[in-house]
Structure 1
Amino acid sequence: MEEKPAKKRFIQIVKQLHDLIAEQNIQEGQKLPSERVLSEQLQVGRSSVREALRSLELLGLIETRHGGGTYLASMKQHQFVEIVGSFILQDEQSIADVHATRQMHEKEAIRIICQSPVFCALPIWKSFFVKLELGESLKREDILRECIVISGNRLSLKIWLQLLAFSDKLLATDITAEEKREVKTLLASMQMGYSQEALDAYENWMVIIK
């Protein structure tokens, strides 16, 4: 079956959850359809459904119980995602605001990392750097997601993941040869705790990939 862009997959699954809640009167704590059922309803592969559900779980919309399936979480959090999704769907020009807001979270995460000797010393930065040196595949979102996660702000992570869903075409791509210099400077600066240098490299990187 033909796969749809990641942005559309994510939005469709959010809409499907909304429909299930409204039509079947699913309450908080009740079980949602399986990956197989969602895959059939949305006409996308199960791996795509699984990826989208993982994002929804990180947002706090659903919860997975080991061996027991997926369950609806807080309706208040569901409303947050629906509002943001509707905003994007109704006003395509606002995508620039999405990128700007996402970048605010990314820059703050970089600042936090540079201010922490523990975060700076994490081996993940060297691992990313080596991958770039060896010419291995590395997606833009992999580095940015790691920055947000390591910064330790769970609310920022939830917001960033939602914004990422509307930035998939920009960030789900491998880092190009043109970007490598700035990305390696970013990684090296974070390892040394050089906040301004890291932020400058990040800004230059964002200019390249616009």
Structure 2
Amino acid sequence: MKQSKRYLDIVKEVRDMIRQEKIRPGDRIPSERELAEKLQVGRSTLREALRSLELLGLIETRRGEGTFLSDHRNHQLVEVLSTFILQDNQSQKDVWETRLLHETGAIQAICSNSSLKGLKLWDSFRKKFEDEGFQRDDFVRELMVLSGNRLSLKIWFLLHQYSGNPYSEAVLEPEKELLLPVLEALERQETEQAIQSFKTWSGWIQKRRMQNGDDS
């Protein structure tokens, strides 16, 4: 099922609101509750969008004070990507492939880092795979974080959102046999096998989205 408000919609509406209300860098933006009411979106969806915007450096939260607009120079990447992505279907395909490049790059970095071998994290993921409701997003985001490349993580958040949030759903039963080989190869730090298994899983998600008519 399509979300009533995609991240891109929220990013654009927050940006428009900032312009209309002439909020300047360093100024406080409306609270989560106020934004949800203004934009007519659910609190949970808005919260995820705000968290992504904060990771991208567009806003900053100060404990006990609220959320504030960051320096406008940090908004350039959002502007460039949003202009490019809204052009045509080929752009959407490029976004999907570019996001996949960052994900496979993260896998390569993880497999090259000997300190990540044998982490209890892999056992934790294996247990989570067995539970209902385990989110695809939790798994891929953790891979991006483990890669240690903060710039790649920031770009990935944008690409993930602009490709229609393909990991926004819980892992389905048929996916488990596709995901477990990824996890096993990561544990053994077998780069080629991990990347190939990940691409197979990503392709399965893309095909299913196209069959459901859930394209971005």
Same fold (TM over 0.5): yes
Alpha-carbon distance between aligned partners in 2 of 1:80 and 1:43, rounded to the nearest angstrom: 26
Q: Which amino acid aligns with 1:35?
A: E
Name the counterpart of 2:174.
Answer: 178
Distance 1:121 1:165, change over 3 A: same
Q: Which aligned segments of 4 or more residues in structure 1 are displaced greater than 6 angstroms?
A: none
The question of 1:33 aligning with 2:33 is answered no
Normalising to structure 2: TM-score of the pair?
Answer: 0.87
Shift of 1:82: 2.3
Spell out the pairing of 1:169-208 with structure 2 (5 A cutoff): 169-208=165-204
Q: Deviations over 1:39-60 (max 9, x none)?
A: 1111112222211101100111
Name the counterpart of 1:141.
Answer: 137
Alpha-carbon distance between aligned partners in 2 of 1:207 and 1:19, rounded to the nearest angstrom: 35
Q: CA contact under 8 A between 1:113 and 1:193: conserved in structure 2?
A: yes
Task: Name whichever structure is richer in helix by fraction.
Answer: 1
The question of 1:24 aligning with 2:21 is answered yes
Q: CA contact under 8 A between 1:102 and 1:163: conserved in structure 2?
A: yes
Determine what percentage of the aligned residue pairs are the same residue. 45
Alpha-carbon distance between aligned partners in 2 of 1:90 and 1:196, rounded to the nearest angstrom: 34
Name the counterpart of 1:82.
Answer: 79
Normalising to structure 1: TM-score of the pair?
Answer: 0.89
Q: 156-165 or 15-24: which moved more? A: 15-24
Shift of 1:135: 4.4
Alpha-carbon distance between aligned partners in 1 of 2:44 and 2:9, rounded to the nearest angstrom: 15
Q: CA contact under 8 A between 2:136 and 2:168: conserved in structure 1?
A: yes
Q: Which amino acid aligns with 1:56?
A: L
Name the counterpart of 1:109.
Answer: 106
SS at match of 2:27: coil
SS at match of 1:12: helix
Q: 99-108 or 115-124: which moved more? A: 115-124
Q: 24-33 or 107-116: which moved more? A: 24-33
Q: Which amino acid aligns with 2:157?
A: L
Shift of 1:169: 4.8
Q: 104-113 or 196-205: which moved more? A: 196-205
Spell out the pairing of 1:159-178 with structure 2 (5 A cutoff): 159-178=155-174
SS at match of 2:30: coil
Structure 1: gaps of 5 or more residues: none
Q: CA RMSD in A?
A: 2.0
Q: 192-201 or 62-71: which moved more? A: 192-201
Structure 2: gaps of 5 or more residues: 207-216
Alpha-carbon distance between aligned partners in 2 of 1:48 and 1:135, rounded to the nearest angstrom: 23
Q: CA contact under 8 A between 1:98 and 1:163: conserved in structure 2?
A: yes
Q: CA contact under 8 A between 1:63 and 1:70: conserved in structure 2?
A: yes
Alpha-carbon distance between aligned partners in 2 of 1:169 and 1:153, rounded to the nearest angstrom: 21
Q: 147-156 or 38-47: which moved more? A: 38-47
Q: CA contact under 8 A between 2:8 and 2:162: conserved in structure 1?
A: no
Name the counterpart of 2:41.
Answer: 44
